[in-house]
Structure 1
Amino acid sequence: MPLSHKVNKNKRGVEIIDLSQDDENAHRPTKISRNAKAPPLTNASSGQRFGQDTSFLPLSQSDSIRFSQLDDDDAAANDLIQSSQNLDDVDVTEYQLFDDMHTKIVGVRYYRGHATLGEHVVVAREPNNQYDPNAIRVLNVMGQQIGHIPRQIAAKLAKYMDERSLIIEGILTGVIGAYDCPMVLKLYGTGDPVRQEQLKKRMKADRLPLSKINALNLERKKQLIEAERARKRKEAERRAMALKGNGKSGPYAGSFGSLQTVDVADLEDLLDQSSSFDPRKMGQSAEKFGLKESDLANMPMVDTPPTMKTELLPYQRQGLAWMLEKEAPCLPTEESQNAVQLWKREGPRYRNVATNYAMSNEPPLASGGILADDMGLGKTIQIISLIMANSRPRSAQATTATLILSPVGVMSNWKGQIEAHVKAEHTPKILVYHGAGKKEAANLSQYDVVITSYGALVSEYTPNVKGPLSRAKGLYSVHWRRVVLDEGHTIRNPRSKGSLAACHLRADSRWTLTGTPIINSLKDLYSQVRFLRLSGGLDDLTMFNAVLIRPLNSGDPLGVSILQELMAAICLRRRKDMSFINLRLPPMKSHVLRIKFHSHEQEKYEMFQAEAKGMLDRYQTRDNETGGTGPTYTHLLEILLRMRQVCNHWALCKNRVDKLMSLLDQNKVIELTPENIKALQEILQLRIESQETCAVCLDNLEEPVITACGHAFDKSCIEQVIERQHKCPLCRADIKDTNNLVSPATELGEDTAVVEVDPNASSSKVDALLKILTAKGQAEGTKTVVFSQWTSFLHVIEPHLQHHGINFTRIDGKLNSTKRDQAINEFTNNPECTVLLASLNVCSVGLNLVAGNQVILCDSWWAPAIEDQAVDRVYRLGQTRDTTVWRLVMEGSIEDRVLAIQENKRLLSMTALSETENNKRKTKAKSANLADIEKLLG
């Protein structure tokens, strides 16, 4: 050490070295001896503190006390609801690679963080560094510091990182030397054209590289020119066809003014006009990675536990064998070529194939996994058999009790299923920890199975600022043998309180049951990985983005390979149509029936489309040219919704926002009078129907509410904000308490509109629906479930069914459970009742509709999983008839583009589950954001 260096000791007794001014030493790092305990570090993406406390099964080395060592209420708020200062709330799919920047890590001799060639590393700002406010540290995936970025490079990049205009990811391109280590920094910037140009100008002035984004924009410009030419050709052809047909538009054209009986069509003709579409068969022709159907069929099985009354089916016995193996995982040996939970043995070290992190100690393995079988294959009974077969704790501190988290509506079903499938003399001691069951909070460890709801768990989740989460009583007082998440996709938002609460339960093993582990994007899967406590770095969202989401979005085969290896390690997925499952379900066929607009409908649609394009242009320039005035994002959602609704029936379209938005513009916060509450509910309904996301957690509005300042949030998210700061996180308007929140007009957020429409006036889509229902050639006794996301459209359909003598019943969110059961009983048992009109929200969960053998989906939106769940209420175990599914789509409309977005989401999900044909295909997840609106409007 040079004599000029001053050596002092801090309060921990760790030497602090005052280094000279050479670039390598410019950041004055803390010198840590090999045996010294490192001080807490800081997470690269959020500034949260890492710690060494491991007393409650930490989420990861880097995540272990993110929520247990909090300094004050503000810090707690940051942990529970990630603020705008954290990178976690950035949609990484919208960021594009600007360029690679080759540099090095310096100061490596002062740190003990291990690193390997090709390893993904975390690049973290350190604004409070006393020697350099621009300091940028480099950490490995376990949170150990390797070194820092050279001073000159840090001076350029720090401001971009602080304002989050650039997301920076690092990969080591060489081995650590005596003084430095080569690395490449990947610079990602916004995909928004206007902000991108501004950012590029600044980066050019700072002499930062831009070659890759410039090349990408040039290629994109060429593609847009070609696409515009193709659109104009198609438009010309459409107009020529319209003129040729004398203004009549296709097979469903006709006059209006009286309720007409639709000409009876032949079913074969309708089938000829439709295109075949089966989402369950997409990509099944070549399962290149992961477990193929033949591998699944040949999986080992175990006997049904002797305590079970019900004999398991063969594939369920295979599922039990797989789960027993996953609860007792073993590290790979030197002889083994296979990875275990992405860890491979390479000589004396274990290397993670996703992040390339290597370690000489044995890495911790997760116990548990994801049971992602199709709906109706018996996930419940497989978990019950696991409980009966393996109750012995894995750790000394664990009990023998299993905790099951489920939606409130199915808690009693779990209890009933256990009692039905287990022999009476062996029935475990069960507690439903809800209502009166809460009195047993101090005695939970005395039960074999405890069943509770996600809401009950959240109500007990309050991070302990002084240490690990533990309680004298309640759910956090027990170290569980296992935790089971029924409908596990409930925790898909990683920042929701429910997700955090589940992750912090103490358990030997962890299981998720869901038929849809990926609903909207790969971020859904990240929540599952974190809950399972998979080691190696993927439990950190920043790293998950870097090694999985980005590569997959860019079509990198390595990203697809890692994703599928991950899913093969933690997830078991069987489908109903697999031959070895042998449920003996009859065939199901799906068809898309494309319908042409009537001429007057085409005019209305084009009017809305032109208005939408103009509004989008004004919205994008409002801040720069109009001082922030002009249309709001809510106006955009409104016009987009009207475009979708006119595809069903023009009577559904109405302007619901102008009056309220003008009120809000004048007053910012409106008084909650009955009239204003109704108007706010209209705005909230618009956001629900548009599948808008919560502004806090950036996930779907699971329990939507709206504030008096007109902003929609998920209830649990905004309640936490109000609890800590009593202000709207978007506009900073005062919110006194939760009594100032307005809930939807109905429990499930369905539209309550009373549609004023001439019952004699039909539409192209209504005519097509009636043609299917009255078609010649329908199988005898056919019963049809008609789904729509708008109950107002069900109002429109009813008089037409009555006119054609079609006996029907209906269920929607306004019916209580008794009336809903009555309607289903009528549809099931009355042979004269042939149609069930159903709200998509109501029928996506919890119903058995196998009495129907035909499904008609009247409208479509972003998340295909919701539609698939609704169809699965008809096509499931117990269905004995051939089943037909119709999707009604207006040709050349926004609905056609929605189907394309749905296909991308299906491809994403099937890529993860080893069901894709082309692993190089770009499977970019979409969400209802401004970029998608641009795509939808062409």
Structure 2
Amino acid sequence: MAPSKNEAKRKRAEVDLTGDSTDDDASQQKTQKTASRINAQRRGEQTTPGASQTSPRSSDQAPSSSVPGQSQSQNNQGGYVYPPGAGLQRSFASPYSSYRLADGTHSQAERESWLFADDNEDHGDMDEIVSSTQGAADNDELHLFGNLPTKIVGVQYYRGIANPGEYVLLRREPGNPYDRNSIRVDNVGGEQIGHIPRRIAAKLASYMDSGWLFVEGRLSGRMGQFDCPIEVDLLGPGPHSQAGKQLVEKMKADKLPTKALLDAERREKQRQKEMEQARKKREQEEKRKLAEARKAAAGAGKGGAVPTSQDSEFTNQTMPDSESEPVMSDLVEASQRFNPRQVSNTTDQYGLQEEALKNMPLASKPDSIKTEMLPFQLQALQWLLDQESPQPPSPGSKDTIQLWKRHESVDAFTNIATNYSTKEAPRLTSGGILADDMGLGKTLEMISLIIADAEKFGCGSTLIVAPLSVMSNWSGQIAHHVHENMALKVYTYHGSGRVSMKAEDFAQYDVVVTTYQTLAMDYMPRGKGAPKQPEKKLRANGLYSMDWRRVILDEGHAVRNPASKGAAAVTSLMSRSRWVLTGTPIINSLKDLYSLLRFIGITGGLNQLEIFNSVLIRPLKAGDPSATYLLQAVMTAFTLRRRKEMAFIDLRLPQL
């Protein structure tokens, strides 16, 4: 008996994304052609990043293994434009008419509103879901479940540069009036590239909204006239957890790819096998050497010569010889996955090496500084001055400045971390992370920076944020190191000194010193759990009313948690330059480094935690060599770290 019309519809709606079927290709092409025809009637709009998807659930929030029902709007035609005539299941004029432009296209404000569900409709917990972002704290712990090759449609309106391998952002648009399942694709600068095809979005939307899967994307080819290839990574919780096991079953039922899990399992088994083989080989080698050592010792007891430490390879053979060639286990262990929770020496390992640090240029000591500055401190001063005035690579240059280089074929700049390109000169970070050992003079170096900049460019107020325990040290050190007749005007904005002040009041001082707690009180004056003040009120008076020449965070690792109130408070300050002083920029994980980099103003997409996770943290944990090189480039570009034991560091006491 021939299938009924409804059965045929249901069969067509069952999209297989595992890669084993090609039936969906034709329907996708038809959808894209329809979208192209309709989209030709309007132009595209740029948007800024917004809310997207919640993080995958923990084991106590495991998804049901049943096949989810199909989401809305599957019957609509392809594309994400206002379709002519009928076919729409609801009226869109009322909630969006105020945003509609005269030519019928959609404004940026309207498209921005699509990132949020309509509060007047019953969409369950959609508001809560969409309020979460891809930058959730636990996203570095995700596992790759599968790779989904597909296309971005509607790219004919994108005016930016699209590079193969470029990291992009996938944003849910539950408020899109033409498709509640809409998934928008933005570049890391927030510009809309296009959308995921409608039928694939219908598959992924419920997973993203419910937090079962977390999706990431990279462009996998060159952009065509109407579409651009993209590879979507599907990430979720540990595959051996309850949530992970149920998610695998659910994805298989929905015909979503899970092959990456099998590949990862095979690689892990192979790695374990190689480690076991290396361990056995090492044990055999040690047994052989021990037997030869005993044999040699027995020969010596019968009148033979006793081997000395200078002429015998068998000396102290009960332990592996540190000078001997590495055996297989050493090589395997050296290539194990990077563990970002064991990164206390990351700054030393990946920053500038000692020879390069030794040969850094020296600055001249500012006239106002009365303390003799040691050579390595003058080197730091020159580095500080250079970091405050970075310049993008010049035309034809092969240099990479703060991860930005000139595009190979067009007049543009490309970020080597995210492969994102922009025709405009990128905003470079003015500042950095000074991570010298304690006792090397970070305070003196920063005071000399304030003086040197003022002597060259004139006045400008510096805000220093410090823990309460060291706050008073700054005013004392400034008085100690600066000539009395050239003294800086210092104000302590704390305790009784925390009075109502506006920007013009702060501008009367060269340096304002405050604490992290006082800053947080200006940021959220109503106490714990209270929201940030409205922007207009926040900028009316207090520390946030001032556009500072520079902001210096002393012991900046205090704001290493990017989700903390303190991190939000310091990041919201206005300033031309930003500095972090810390002897330990990374304490627990690379997320500590992310928080500091976000504060100083890193660009190119790495200021977003989801991209930082995608580009650095997860690849490092997976043992990707390219991520190791990238981490080294980041540390070299933004940090200066010297240790007391370095040969060129001379700690003779300075003379007054």
TM-score range, shorter chain: 0.5 to 0.7
Where 1:446 maps in the other structure, the secondary structure is: coil
Change (3 A) 1:497 1:356: same
Cα drift, residue 216 of structure 1: 2.3
Q: Which one of 379, 391, 401 corresponds to residue 442 of structure 2?
A: 379
Change (3 A) 1:31 1:473: farther
| Contact 1:168-1:188 within 8 A present in 2 as well | yes
Distance, in Å, in 1 between the alignment partners of 2:137 and 2:532 is 28
Distance 1:378 1:384 in 2: 10
**Cα 1:283–1:427 shift into 2, 3 Å:** closer
Distance apart, 1:334 and its partner CA: 2.6
1:474 and 2:538 are equivalent in the alignment: no
Q: How does 1:574-593 map to 2 (within 5 A)?
A: 574-583=642-651
Q: 1:393 to 1:175 in 2, by over 3 A?
A: farther
| SS of residue in 2 equivalent to 1:22 | helix
SS of 2:211 mapped into structure 1: coil
Q: How far 1:94 sits from its partner (Å)? A: 2.1
Q: Deviations over 1:88-129 (max 9, x none)?
A: 334123211122211111111244454222211001111222
Runs of 5+ unmatched residues, structure 1: 1-19, 48-60, 73-80, 232-271, 585-876, 879-938
Whether 1:208 aligns to 2:270 is no
Please say if residues 129 and 135 of structure 1, whose CA atoms lie closer than 8 Å, have aligned partners that are also in contact.
yes
Residue 283 to residue 489, structure 1, CA distance change in 2 (3 Å) = closer
Root-mean-square deviation (CA, aligned residues, Å) is 3.8
Specify the alignment match of 2:182 in structure 1. 135
Cα distance in 2 between the residues matched to 1:204 and 1:280: 37
Instruction: Assess, with a 3 A threshold, how the Cα gap between structure 1 residues 88 and 40 changes in structure 2: closer, same or farther.
Output: closer
Q: 2:509 aligns with which of 434, 447, 458?
A: 447
Render the CA deviation track for 1:843-885: whole Å, top value 9, x for unaligned. Answer: xxxxxxxxxxxxxxxxxxxxxxxxxxxxxxxxxx99xxxxxxx
Question: 1:441: how far off?
Answer: 2.4
Between the aligned partners of 2:437 and 2:39, the Cα distance in structure 1 is 53
Q: Does 1:103 align with 2:164?
A: no
Q: Indicate if the aligned counterparts of 1:373 and 1:514 stay in contact, CA closer than 8 A.
A: yes
Does 1:116 find its partner at 2:163?
yes
Q: Distance in 1 between matches of 2:173 and 2:34?
A: 15
Q: 1:42 aligns with which of 43, 50, 59?
A: 50
Answer yes or no: is 1:217 the counterpart of 2:225. Answer: no
Q: CA deviation at 1:281?
A: 11
C-alpha distance in 1, partners of 2:162/2:274?
Answer: 46
Q: Measure, in 2, the Cα distance between the counterparts of 1:336 and 1:444.
A: 41
Q: Give the direction of change, closer, same or farther, for the CA distance of 1:440–1:23 in structure 2 (3 Å limit).
A: closer
Q: Does the 8 Å contact 1:301/1:317 carry over to 2?
A: yes
Equivalent of 1:183 in 216, 230, 243: 230
Do structure 1's residue 500 and structure 2's residue 562 form an aligned pair? no
- Tell whether the 8 Å contact from 2:144 to 2:234 is kept in structure 1 after alignment: yes
Cα separation, 2, equivalents of 1:523 and 1:429: 37
The AA in structure 2 aligned to 1:298 is N
Change (3 A) 1:43 1:332: farther
CA distance in 2, matches of 1:284, 1:461: 31
On the 8 A contact 2:433/2:582 being kept in 1, the answer is yes
Q: Structure 1 residue 312 and structure 2 residue 373: aligned?
A: yes
Instruction: For 1:309, give the aligned amino acid.
Output: K
SS for the counterpart of 2:491 is strand
Kindly report which structure 2 residues correspond to 1:354-503, keeping only aligned pairs within 5 A, or say none.
354-391=417-454, 400-439=460-499, 441-442=501-502, 443-462=505-524, 467=535, 470-503=538-571
Is 1:551 matched with 2:619?
Answer: yes
Residues in 2 aligned to 1:451 and 1:117: alpha-carbon distance in whole angstroms: 47
Q: What CA distance in whole angstroms lies between the structure 2 residues aligned with 1:118 and 1:505?
A: 34
- Which of 624, 631, 638 is the aligned partner of 1:570? 638
Q: Using a 3 Å threshold, how does the CA distance of structure 1 residues 22 and 222 change in structure 2: closer, same or farther?
A: closer
> Aligned ranges for residues 377-776 of structure 1 at < 5 Å?
377-391=440-454, 400-439=460-499, 441-442=501-502, 443-462=505-524, 467=535, 470-583=538-651
Are the structure 2 counterparts of residues 329 and 222 from structure 1 closer, same or farther at C-alpha, using a change threshold of 3 Å? closer
Could you tell me which residue of structure 2 aligns to residue 864 of structure 1? none
Matched AA of 1:569: A
The reply on whether 1:195 has 2:203 as its aligned counterpart is no
In terms of mean alpha carbon deviation, does 458-467 or 415-424 score higher? Answer: 458-467
In structure 1, distance between residues paired with 2:33 and 2:570: 43
Correspondence 1:298 to 2:356: no
Counterpart in 2 of 1:174? 221
Paired amino acid for 1:213: L
Contact kept, 8 Å, 1:107 with 1:148, in 2: the verdict is: yes
Q: Are 2:137 and 2:563, in contact at CA under 8 Å, matched by a contact in 1?
A: no
The 3-state SS of whatever aligns with 2:256 is coil
Which residue matches 1:268? none
Q: Would the aligned equivalents of 2:32 and 2:197 in 1 still touch at CA under 8 Å?
A: yes
Contact 1:24 1:106 in 2 (8 A): no
Q: Distance in 2 between matches of 1:161 and 1:402?
A: 44
Q: Helix, strand or coil: the match of 1:87?
A: coil
Residues 551/227 of structure 1: CA separation in 2 closer, same or farther (3 Å cut): closer
Is contact 1:407–1:487 with CA below 8 Å preserved after alignment?
yes
Residues 181-214 of structure 1: per-residue CA shift (max 9 Å, x gap) = 0111111121151222211111111111122211
Instruction: Tell me the SS of whatever aligns to 1:403.
Output: strand
Q: In 2, distance between residues paired with 1:166 and 1:550? A: 16
In structure 2, what is the Cα distance between the partners aligned to 1:39 and 1:30?
19
SS in 1 for 2:181: coil
Q: Once superposed, which parts of structure 1, at least 4 consecutive aligned residues long, lie more than 4 Å away?
A: 23-34, 38-41, 81-84, 218-231, 279-285, 462-470
Amino acid at match of 2:171: A
C-alpha deviation, 1:511, in angstroms: 0.4
The answer for unaligned runs of 5 or more in structure 2 is 1-28, 56-107, 120-127, 280-317, 323-341, 525-530
Q: Show CA shifts across 1:594-615 (max 9, x none).
A: xxxxxxxxxxxxxxxxxxxxxx
Identity of aligned residues (%): 48
Q: 1:361 to 1:281 in 2, by over 3 A?
A: closer
Contact 2:53 2:209 in 1 (8 A): no
* Alignment partner of 1:144 is 2:191: yes
The equivalent residue for 2:398 is 337
The AA in structure 2 aligned to 1:453 is T
The alignment's TM-score, normalised by the length of structure 2, stands at 0.68
Shift of 1:571: 0.7
- The answer for the alignment partner of 2:385 in structure 1 is 324
Query: Which whole-Å deviations, capped at 9, do the CAs of 1:224-275 have from their partners, x for residues lacking one?
Result: 79999999xxxxxxxxxxxxxxxxxxxxxxxxxxxxxxxxxxxxxxxx99x9
Question: Retained in 1: the 8 A contact 2:551–2:575?
Answer: yes
The more displaced of 461-470 and 124-133 is 461-470
Aligned amino acid, residue 212 of structure 2: S
Per the TM alignment, residue 130 of structure 1 is displaced from its structure 2 partner at its CA by: 1.6
SS in 1 for 2:445: helix
Aligned length: 490
Shift of 1:175: 1.6
CA distance in 1, matches of 2:175, 2:343: 53
The 5-angstrom pairing of residues 802-881 of structure 1 reads none
Alignment partners' CA distance in 2, 1:282 and 1:438: 39
The one-letter amino acid paired with 1:532 is I
Task: List per-residue Cα deviations over 1:149-186 (Å, max 9, x = no partner).
Answer: 11121111111111222221111111211110011111
Q: Give the partner amino acid of 2:371.
A: T
3-state SS, counterpart of residue 588 of structure 2 = coil
Q: 1:413 to 1:82 in 2, by over 3 A?
A: farther
**Aligned residue type for 2:487:** T
Q: Distance in 2 between matches of 1:566 and 1:555?
A: 17
Cα offset, 1:31, TM superposition:
7.7
**How many angstroms apart in 2 are the aligned matches of 1:41 and 1:91?**
20
CA–CA separation in structure 2 for the residues paired with 1:30 and 1:454? 53
Give the Cα separation in 2 of the matches to 1:383 and 1:39: 39
Q: Could you tell me which residue of structure 1 aligns to residue 206 of structure 2?
A: 159
Q: Which amino acid aligns with 2:219?
A: L
